[in-house]
Amino acid sequence: RRTVLKGLAAAPAAVTLFNIGKAQAAEHNLRYGHNLPLSHPLHIRAQEAADRIAKETDGKVQLQIFPSNQLGGDTDMLQQVRNGAITFFTPSSLVISTLVPVASINAVGFAFKDYEQVWAAMDGPVGDHIRDEIKKPGQIEALDVMWDNGFRQITNSGDPITDAKDMAGIKIRVPVAPLMVDMFRALDAAPAAIQFSEVYTALQTKTVDAQENPLPIISVAKLYEVQKNCAVSNHIWDGYWFIANSRQLNSLPDDLRSIVTTSLNEAGKQQRNDIKALNEGVRAELEKNGMTFNEVDTESFRAKLREAKFYSTWKEKFGEAAWGHLEGVVGQLA
């Protein structure tokens, strides 16, 4: 509760000149919280959408963005979007899986070969299935376009990780998601579920030795300052659902709601391109900042997961329907 009040009282991070010009009170103030620094494409594109919304609604709708966990950690923001303290939140598939378990199905180890498969699944049957589950309890819903987080890579500060056996005993931070804890336990690591807001400090103080995230996040969150190696594991793909509080979204007049959702969905499509481009370019920047990259024997990881019955366990948890949708796109898993 304290963090909510603190966050809402704070000035918006990026008040644009346009919004200052439109100083008269908006009729609809929408609040959006997320967990990433200002320099991440998710924030940049969302801010562009906010500017477009203000302009196209003649200032009637203001989308105020609270980046960088200003409103609290992911668990707090998930609660806030459910109870209407905020209108929007972008949890990753992992973060929302604490509420909607099937949402972590895209994070089954080594499910996707490339982005073509990712978007075929998430803009298709897998995404539809998850979207329905998100909506079921009646509090929140996901906008049509999912935003990208990326393929996740493992960083650490000890010896480089090149094979699954190198994971044994490694203290690794994972997002607060049962699937992630289970997957890294299956690899004989010692996973610790920690919210993103605490990751830099956890690495700096050596509470954990390792973490895993897409390269754009490793860059914007400056994790290269507290990590030495990056193993290019591509072990899972992760994305952000653009979640709305249903009551607030649907209480907007149709014309205004349409501007809001169209602006956000189109920004999401552009954000996907940004991440793709960054994935290709950011490695050189991270190397300049002292990180060393190495390839990994991904087959050793898959074999270890199979052996630990990771795939069969999670197939049962997610259910035949969801698993079938995923295999329909990526082929037989495991």
Distance CA 4, CA 122 (A): 32
Asked if residue 175 binds ligand X2X (CB under 6 A), the reply is yes
Q: Which of 107, 217, 226, 260 binds ligand X2X (CB under 6 A)?
A: 217
Q: How many angstroms from the chain centroid is the CA of residue 196? A: 10
Is residue 290 within 8 Å of residue 150, measured between CB atoms? no
Distance CA 63, CA 31 (A): 6
Q: Which of 110, 112, 196, 301 binds ligand X2X (CB under 6 A)?
A: 196
* CA-based nearest residue to 107, from 321, 279, 308, 311: 311
Q: Which stretch binds ligand X2X (CB under 6 A): 47-55, 90-98, 100-108, 111-119?
A: 90-98
Amino acid at 98: T
Q: Which residue has the tokens 């969150």?
A: 221
Residues 6+ apart with CB under 8 A from 42: 34, 36, 90, 147, 240, 271
- Number of residues forming the site for ligand X2X (CB under 6 A): 10
Binding mask 224-253 for ligand X2X (x = CB under 6 A): --------------x---------------
Q: Which stretch binds ligand X2X (CB under 6 A): 55-63, 76-84, 89-97, 116-124?
A: 89-97
* CA-based nearest residue to 37, from 225, 204, 217, 281: 217
Looking at residues 119 to 158 of the shown chain, list those that interact with ligand X2X (rule: CB under 6 A).
149
Asked if residue 63 binds ligand X2X (CB under 6 A), the reply is no
Looking at residues 252 to 311 of the shown chain, list those that interact with ligand X2X (rule: CB under 6 A).
none
Q: Which of 95, 118, 186, 291 binds ligand X2X (CB under 6 A)?
A: 95
Distance CA 282, CA 53 (A): 31
Summarize as ranges the residues that interact with ligand X2X (CB under 6 A). 35, 92, 94-95, 149, 175, 196, 213, 217, 238
